[in-house]
Amino acid sequence: MAYLFPSAEWVEQLKIEINRSEAYANSGKTWEGDFCFIVKPGGALKEPFKMYLDLWHGQCRDAFVMTGAETKKPEFTISGTIETYRQIFNKKLDPIQALMTRKLELQGNMMKIMKSVKATLDLVNCCGLIDMKYPDQT
Amino acid sequence: MWFFNSPEIVFGEGALDYLDELVGRRAFIVTDPVLHRLGFTEIVAEHLRRAGIELAVFAEVEPEPSLETVRRGAGVLRAFAPDWIIGLGGGSAMDAAKAMWVLYERPDIDPASINPLERLGLGVKARLITIPTTSGTGSEATWATVLTDTEAGRKLGLGSRESLATLAIVDPAFTAKLPPRLTAETGIDVLSHAIEGYTTTWHNDFSDGLCLKAMQLVFAYLPRAVADGNDMEAREKMANAATIAGIGFGNAMTALAHALAHPFGAVFHQPHGRCSGLFLPYTVEYTVRSDNSRYSDIAYALHLPAADEMTAATAVAGTIRDLMRRVGLPISAAEMGISAADTEAAMERLCDLAEMDYSIVLATRIPSHNELAELFRYVQAGRPVDF
């Protein structure tokens, strides 16, 4: 089954992939921090789509679509277009290069992420494991 | 979309004369105590005086400079208020100068938080000149800055594209007195930059040619520079190779050899060049088993067998080991006096630090935690990688 990106089902599947990843369990074993990933509006997506991810010691403790009613204040916010995320998931774009060229925008402590680069990569790899489709493919 | 950055480069015999016509008011030289004592600072100072430039010197940069040293130097720098900052030395002095420059322009920034995402707005108060005195780090032409967090016991790979020098002066005269061992260690570092710059996932059309040229220069001239330090043609070619490789890897970054060399050097207190050279052939053998390795190009450029990637990688790794033997460098950790027991005792820390190193994610094949441990074991024993 192909999961639509972005969607609540996709976020739930990402949590499953993270929690079954031995690589992330190891590289993210010291990581403590939560994220909000924002997909910017564009094409079929009319509103920003916000996904929350709570990563803790190599596991994903929580993952859901943010509706605005939550009280969570994620430590990191990363935003980009669907196309940018798609290129990253397909390994056509390096996530750090995406940040440096501002195709992805980061709010939060970049140095904390740079100290966990392998974990970052393993997280992206988890995304790439999901069988997914995009709004222009539906 | 990507970038290509390079300082203006003045190179060759007599390149320092360029300073005679430097336009400015005050220059602040950042160097290390040994070079200062050897009179290198005075050589540069003489040129600056001819240009009518007032100067001050901070000669307290230690090998693997610490955040504390950078903070202290930036304080002195602020008080002197120069319009030129000159990093004179090896990678340590030049990296310290870059970080001090950032703190001079942006006192609100902590040196440990210098990163490529933040716009710094450098160049308002001063500009940076780098003058290498070894032929190795390429720091004169890169924006990368390696500092040591002594409290955490780890090296920090920092940098902003803005912290690239305005001008790099590559004069081989400074390297003429380098002893053979240091010539070999810094020279093999050049090769590690060139090969990794060519094979990293960030490689690009603009940096590729520079990396290949630097490799050719190292194989042709490093043995001569080590055998006879007064061979000024070899010295000049190695000085050029270091800067060319610096521009190459500065725009493409480094990969697995550096990700392993950084923790190994920090844990066992070994100099950077010796470590990056040590790991290079092993990581060539490891990364060739990826889908997108590029060793045939390298083998072809070096006139080695290049029929397929595995043949090429085996030849490249072999010729690196031959070169290291010729210039008197160890090709295993055991030859450095590091035993299997030492390696096992430090293994968890080595692997953890390697996984935190930014270079690891730029390798075309990224080892798992267990594979990292195996790589350290193979390097300790001097066994060619076969997995």
Tell me the average pLDDT across B12-39. 97
Site from A22, A107, A117, A124 to mutate, B interface, most B CB atoms within 10 angstroms: A117
Given a cut of 80, whether residue A138 has pLDDT beyond it is no
> Is residue B166 less than 8 Å (CB to CB) from chain A?
no
Residue B118's pLDDT is 83
Tell me the average pLDDT across A117-137. 93
Under 8 Å between Cβ of B132 and B236: no
Give the Cα separation of A107 and B109 in Å (integer). Answer: 17
Cβ contacts below 8 Å, chain A against chain B, sum to 49
Q: Which residues in chain A are closer than 8 Å to B361, comparing Cβ atoms?
A: 96, 117-118, 120-121
Under 8 Å between Cβ of A21 and A118: no
Residue A26's pLDDT is 92
How far lies B387's CA from each of B204, B290, B370, in Å? Answer: 28, 11, 12
| Pairwise CB contact (< 8 Å): A118 & B201 | no
Given a cut of 90, whether residue A115 has pLDDT beyond it is no
Q: Which residues in chain B are closer than 8 Å to A103, comparing Cβ atoms?
A: 1
Neighbours of B233 (CB within 10 A): 11
CATH domain A3-137 topology: Nonspecific Lipid-transfer Protein; Chain A (3.30.1050)
Q: How confident is the model at residue B155 (pLDDT cuts 50, 70, 90)?
A: confident
Residue A69's pLDDT is 78
For B117, residues 6+ apart whose C-beta sits below 8 A from its C-beta are: A99, A100, A106, A110
Q: Which residues in chain A are closer than 8 Å to B360, comparing Cβ atoms?
A: 117-118
Give the Cα separation of B48 and B50 in Å (integer). Answer: 5
| Pairwise CB contact (< 8 Å): B112 & A111 | yes
Model pLDDT for residues B319-363, shown as the tens digit of each residue: 999 999 999 999 999 999 999 999 999 999 999 999 988 899 999
Give the Cα separation of B175 and B135 in Å (integer). Answer: 7
Given a cut of 80, whether residue B153 has pLDDT beyond it is no
Q: What are phi and psi of B65, to 5 degrees?
A: -60, 145
Give the Cα separation of B244 and B221 in Å (integer). Answer: 14
Residue B308's pLDDT is 97
Tell me the average pLDDT across B299-325. 98
Give the Cα separation of B191 and B304 in Å (integer). Answer: 16
Given a cut of 90, whether residue B297 has pLDDT beyond it is yes
Interface of B with A in 320-379 (CB under 8 A): 355-358, 360-361, 366, 368-369
Q: How confident is the model at residue A78 (pLDDT cuts 50, 70, 90)?
A: very high
From the CA of B321, how many Å to the nearest CA of chain A? 29
Domains, chain B, with CATH or none = 8-175 (3.40.50.1970), 180-381 (1.20.1090.10)
For B324, residues 6+ apart whose C-beta sits below 8 A from its C-beta are: B188, B277, B281, B330, B331
From the CA of A114, how many Å to the nearest CA of chain B? 7
Helices (H) and strands (E) in chain B, counts: 13, 8
> Is residue B2 less than 8 Å (CB to CB) from chain A?
yes
Under 8 Å between Cβ of B11 and B18: no
| Pairwise CB contact (< 8 Å): B357 & A117 | yes
> Is residue A26 less than 8 Å (CB to CB) from chain B?
yes
The token pair that represents B92 in the structure block: 């340590």
Tell me the average pLDDT across A47-51. 95
ipTM over 0.90: no
Given a cut of 90, whether residue A40 has pLDDT beyond it is yes
Give the Cα separation of A52 and A20 in Å (integer). Answer: 19
Residue B177's pLDDT is 87
Residue A112's pLDDT is 87
Tell me the average pLDDT across A87-101. 92
> Is residue B115 less than 8 Å (CB to CB) from chain A?
yes
Peptide bond into A6 cis (omega under 30): yes
Taking CA atoms, what residue in B is nearest to A112?
Answer: B113
Angle between helices B67-80 and B91-105 (to 10 degrees): 60
A106 bridge partner residues: A78
Taking CA atoms, what residue in A is nearest to B352?
Answer: A27
Report chain A's mean pLDDT, rounded to a whole number. 93
From the CA of B218, how many Å to the nearest CA of chain A? 30
Report chain B's mean pLDDT, rounded to a whole number. 96
Under 8 Å between Cβ of A62 and A52: yes
The token pair that represents A100 in the structure block: 């440096």
Among residues B304, B343, B306, which one has the least CA distance to residue B323?
Answer: B304
Model pLDDT for residues B104-132, shown as the tens digit of each residue: 999 998 888 888 888 899 999 999 999 99
Residue A25's pLDDT is 96
Given a cut of 90, whether residue B154 has pLDDT beyond it is no
